[in-house]
Structure 1
Amino acid sequence: MKKSLIALAVLGLSGAAMAQSSVTLYGVADAGIGKIEHGNGTLNDGSDKVEFLSASRMNNGNSRLGVRGVEDLGGGLRAGFQFETGLDLDEGSVQGSGGGYWGRHAFMWLGGNWGTVKLGRTLNPTFYSVAAWELTGMANYTIANAYGWGAGGPRNSSQFAYKTPTFFGGLTAEVGYITKHDNADKAKWDMNVIYSSGPLVASVGVNKTKDQKTHYVVGGRYDFGMFRIAGGYAQASQGDLYRRGFMLGGTMTFGAASLTLDFSRDTKNQWSGEKYTNGLIEGKYALSKRTFVYAVYHRYDDTDNYGLGIRHNF
């Protein structure tokens, strides 16, 4: 269960906290066993040996510890923050997700009925456009990895972002901007538009860094009840080279269990010069609302990878 704490007690400050301020401590623990032929260069990832898995491509997610807070300023205005660090359960090291100690999230925000402004390092708008419809919950092994989540990476540092309130019963948009001084002398913009209402979700995400090709991803999902289908099309670039392709899959739910089949096919791949068909089979079983076990096989760019693990959210 998420534990609501008094904000200033968590931060080690004075105990005279305002009654309308609060801080929540939360996290994820995820570990398992498996074999990774295609890794991402982190500890115990890509050795092609059966081994303990944590913070790897074949974990459902990275273990993490975070703290977020909110203060009601009155008149519908609120302010808050979120700091989050990653953990490797192999030996307890920090997994910063490309940043420092708080590399997963380090931002503050101000919001009201006019929308929300976020300032700092966080998941980018294009990532959220994929997360809106992707079938595995954006697991580390998601099929969307082949196209860099359509974003050239899931997070932006030094980002100024604005998200609209919800319009027309399910429509939102978000735009982010990073100045050239904060991004190796190359300014970047990032945006999404997401529609989510009832069984239908559809989105588009686009971002561009100066002097690089445009990243984009479009996709959607429809929920029939026990069965849902999803599909998308994406382009991601590395300098002047790009990779693009489509994704298609479905999830069947049987009570506490679910089975997901997902695949992607390149329509153009200048990174390797070879078009790949990637596939994913994932099974989950919920032990509670916060804990589930999972088994997954992932065919990725002609490599075979599999994992068996357990994830606990708190």
Structure 2
Amino acid sequence: MKKNLIGVAVATLVASFATAASAQSSVTLYGLVDAGLTYVNNVQSPAGSGTMKSSQFGMNGGNVQMSRWGLRGAEDLGGGMKAIFTLESGFDVANGSSLGGSNSMFGRQAFVGLSSGFGTVTLGKQTDSVTDYLGPVSATGTWGGTYFAHPGNLDNLNGDAFRLNNSVKFQSANYSGLTFGGSYAFSNTAGSFAANRAYSAGVGYANGPLKAGAAYTQSNGANSNGAGAITGGSPTISFANGYTSLANVNDLRLRTFGAGASYSIGAVTFGGLWSQVRQDANSVDGKVVDNNIEVNGRYALTPALAIGAAYTFTLSKVTYGGGDGSNIVRYHQFGLQTDYALSKRTDIYAEGVVQLASGLDKGEYPTARIGGFSTASSSGRQVLVTTGIRHRF
């Protein structure tokens, strides 16, 4: 009888230790798959020729959010401290290919760090402060997604233009709704400490119906050996002649400032923000300054059905040889979306985006190019309509 009691006690003790051990650490598989049908007019044909135009209709992945899968984990170290990690890989569900470069298995995020009651410190490939603090009050960084990005997505509000390699990042704890943080990304290049480094800082506030954020990010050039803070070139997109002249230089400096807020009244949320992107380089006698002003709103008609709209005005000033002349380009972008939740994890959507470009850039008319779409318009106008399904797991 005693032996049986002792055996039961030992088995119970072992089981309790095993339960406690498993409760102290966890690993979660998560992801998102987004695909749909997309129509775009005035597409350059062949791509980049700028001489012929045609419409394009087909299937695309990542219409609202880029598809991804990942692993995140945490281990309780005691005393309120945890070890954490995240590994996240992007992919194109339309053809199964990976996103983020052929050598980037976890091209979206890959970091490890420590979390405590004061905040979190992480090391690896991570988002910058503009994405973290200004993105949550924008349409592209929340419900609108990929095609609602500002022209060129130069301010990177949705985090899809670039992530920071070799970065050390701090995010504070939540102090009654107030959070702040910053990051520094090393160039990892001998003799060129500042050649391709990047750094950012931001502050956010979220309490009740009010949400606000402000941030700054600076990246210094691109590194041809692919070892810097931002690999594969600087985060620019060539969709106007001035951008073409500055997009591929190795010493390009890009600085992004921004601030914005949103407010909810019942089922209605409306917001606005301003961002400025400055591009300049030592090897090019010129610079580009973009100012974006966005207003957005979303209304939940029912718990399952919501509609949203956003308007962005972008003013780009391109300067060459010390004179600006008529190098002023204006962009008007309108977006409308409706989303219906089939469940907590699956929804269907339909949206349309219109972009209008006007002005002159080095004597040429600018072309429109909706963010997230790979081919520029053949004119100053472009219309995109998409509908699809998104599933989270």
**What's the TM-score once normalised by structure 2's chain length?**
0.68
Partner SS state of residue 81, structure 1: strand
Q: Which moved more, 1:220-229 or 1:98-107?
A: 98-107
**Equivalent residues of 2:255, 2:279 under 8 A apart:** no
Query: How far apart in 1 are the matches of 2:164 and 2:34?
Result: 24
Q: Determine the structure 1 residue equivalent to 2:184.
A: 177
The Cα shift of 1:171 comes to 0.5
Paired residues of 2:165 and 2:186 also in contact (CA < 8 A): no
Q: Is the 8 A contact 2:166 2:187 kept in 1?
A: no
Give the superposition deviation at 1:184. Answer: 7.3
Q: Residues of 2 paired with 1:170 and 1:192: CA distance?
A: 14
**Contact 1:32–1:308 (8 Å) recurs in 2:** yes
The answer as to whether partners of 2:155 and 2:256 remain within 8 angstroms in 1 is: no
Q: Deviations over 1:33-66 (max 9, x none)?
A: 0123589xxxxxx9841101113xxx01111111
CA gap of 1:147–1:32, structure 2 versus 1, over 3 A, is closer
Structure 1 gaps of 5+ residues are 1-14, 40-45
Is 2:91 the counterpart of 1:73? no
Task: Give 1:221's aligned residue.
Answer: 262
Deviation at 1:21, TM superposition (A): 1.1
**Could you tell me which residue of structure 2 aligns to residue 159 of structure 1?**
167
Change (3 A) 1:176 1:224: same
Residue 140 of structure 1, aligned match among 115, 136, 146: 146
Aligned residue in 2 for 1:252: 299
270-279 or 116-125, which deviates more = 270-279
CA distance in 1: counterparts of 2:102 and 2:195, whole angstroms? 19
Structure 2 residue runs of 5 or longer lacking an equivalent are: 1-17, 44-52, 221-251, 281-286, 320-326, 356-367, 369-380
In the TM superposition, residue 150 of structure 1 has moved relative to its aligned partner by: 5.1
User: Matched residue of 2:266: which SS?
Assistant: coil
> Which one has the bigger strand percentage?
1
Structure 1 residue aligned with 2:202: 192
Q: Deviation of residue 270 (structure 1)?
A: 2.8
* 1:28–1:79 distance in 2 versus 1, CA, 3 Å: same
Deviations 1:236-260 (A, max 9, x none): 2333322112000211111111111
Distance in 2 (alpha carbons) for counterparts of 1:47 and 1:117:
49
Q: 1:267 is aligned with what amino acid?
A: L
Aligned-residue sequence identity (percent) comes to 28
Residues 157-215 of structure 1, C-alpha deviations (whole Å, 9 max, x = no match): 11111111112x10000100012436872332111100110000111010123472531
Look up the match of 1:28.
32
- Matched residue of 2:154: which SS? helix
Whole-Å separation in 1 of the counterparts to 2:21 and 2:101: 33
Which structure would you say has the larger Rg? Answer: 2
More helix by share: 2
- Asked if residue 208 in structure 1 is aligned to residue 218 in structure 2, the reply is yes
**Secondary structure at 1:49 match in 2:** strand
SS of residue in 2 equivalent to 1:131: helix
Q: Equivalent residues in 2 for 1:257-276 (5 A)?
A: 257-270=305-318, 273-276=328-331
Residue in structure 2 matched with residue 313 of structure 1 by the alignment: 392
Shift in Å, 1:17: 10
Aligned to 1:12: none
Per the alignment, residue 287 of structure 1 pairs with 342
TM-score, length basis structure 1:
0.84
The code of the aligned residue for 1:285 comes to: Y
- What is the SS of the residue equivalent to 1:237? strand
Q: What is the CA–CA distance in structure 2 between the aligned matches of 1:78 and 1:241, rounded to whole Å?
A: 44
How big is the alpha-carbon RMSD for the aligned residues of Structure 1 and Structure 2?
Answer: 2.7
Aligned length: 290
- Does 1:119 pair with 2:116? no
Q: Secondary structure at the match of 1:101?
A: coil
8 Å contact 1:200–1:223 — kept in the other structure? yes
Check 1:305–1:141 CA distance in 2 against 1; reply closer, same or farther (3 A cut).
same
The whole-number CA distance in structure 1 between the counterparts of 2:118 and 2:296 is 36
Counterpart of 1:164, as a letter, is S
Determine the structure 2 residue equivalent to 1:64.
68
Shift of 1:130: 2.3
